[in-house]
Amino acid sequence: MKDIYLGVDELEAKLGGLHTEFGSLKLKIKELLEENQRLRIENQQLRKIFKRETIELTADPATELSEEPADAGHQEHAEAAAGTSLGEGYDNLARLYHEGFHICNVYYGHLRMEGDCLFCLSFLSKP
């Protein structure tokens, strides 16, 4: 009987160790998912900047040829860009939330572990 008890004791210790290992693995996965999301956002923003710079580079010769002052054209570009980026920004945040990440300033960028977040939802429902 003593052997059985020792065996069960040993098994319990092993299970405890496994449980701890699972916990740290879960934490690691969470960190990786969050980092992946951060990198995706960064990549998206870099792509946007790259695209804008490419457009400006290819558009420059045309503005030189046209007779209107270059400044006016640039201003229009800037205003149009600002207008679209506001709507885009909201869409990106909404998508981020539906992919399971916080967009509220309390937990921004962290995985939502327990369903909906009231901070995020109140942020999303703002006009």
Q: Which residues bind Zn ion (CB under 5 A)?
A: 102, 104, 107, 117, 119-120
The nearer residue to Zn ion, 96 or 102, going by C-beta atoms, is 102
State in angstroms the smallest separation of the CB of 108 from Zn ion: 8
The nearer residue to Zn ion, 63 or 107, going by C-beta atoms, is 107
Q: Whose CB is nearest to Zn ion? A: 117
DSSP secondary structure letters along the chain: -HHHHHHHHHHHHHHHHHHHHHHHHHHHHHHHHHHHHHHHHHHHHHHHHHHHHHHHHHHHHHHHHSSS-HHHHHHHHHHHHHHHHHHHHHHHHHHHHHTTB--STTTTTSB--SS--HHHHHHHT--
State in angstroms the smallest separation of the CB of 97 from Zn ion: 8
